[in-house]
Amino acid sequence: MSQEILDGLAVIVNEVAGVPVEDVQPDKAFIDDLDIDSLSMVEVVMAAEDKWGVKIPDSEVKNLRTVGDAVAYIQTATA
């Protein structure tokens, strides 16, 4: 698990939804644990696309249930 991607994602989630950076941990589910709704999720995805230059299609977004899922996806996409 890339700590760098996790840290970057935590900053994005904080900026979009005001969730404290330290709460953004791999085992946390975006919607159920971090209270991020589907529209904030779209914003998080767009910010991640910008930051890491990856493409996360709409069809993939619903598979990114936890923060760990997103880190893994970005890691693979940038590898």
Partner 1 sequence: MTATISSPAGAPHARIMSVGSYRPERVVTNAEVCELIDSTDEWIRERSGIVERRYAAPDETVVDIAQAAAEKAIAASGIRADQIGFVLVATVTHPYPTPSAAAELAYRVGAIDAAATDISSACAGFCYGVAMAQDMVRGGSAEYVLVVGVEKLTDWVDPTDRSTAFIFADGAGAVVIGPSDTPAIGPVVWGADGEQLDAITMTQSLTDYRDNGGPRFPTLAMKGQQVFRWAVSKMTVVAKEALAKADISADDLAAFIPHQANMRITDAMVRSLSLPAHVPVARDIETTGNTSAASIPIAMDRMLSSGEVPHGGLALTIGFGAGLAYAAQVVVLP
Ligand X SMILES: CC(C)(COP(=O)(O)OP(=O)(O)OC[C@H]1O[C@@H](n2cnc3c(N)ncnc32)[C@H](O)[C@@H]1OP(=O)(O)O)[C@@H](O)C(=O)NCCC(=O)NCCS
* Tokens encoding 6: 């996790």
| Rounded least distance, CB 25 to partner 1, Å | 24
| Rounded least distance, CB 60 to partner 1, Å | 13
27 binds, among partner 1, ligand X, none (CB under 5 to 8 A by kind): none
- Cα–Cα distance between 37 and 12 in angstroms, integer? 15
- According to CB under 8 A, which one of 4, 58, 59, 76 is a site residue for partner 1? 58
* Cβ count within 10 A of residue 60: 13
21 binds, among ligand X, partner 1, none (CB under 5 to 8 A by kind): none
Please check whether residue 23 is in contact with residue 34, taking contact to mean a CB–CB distance below 8 angstroms: yes
Residue nearest to ligand X (CB): 38
- Cα–Cα distance between 12 and 21 in angstroms, integer? 9
> Judged by CB under 8 A, does residue 38 bind partner 1?
yes
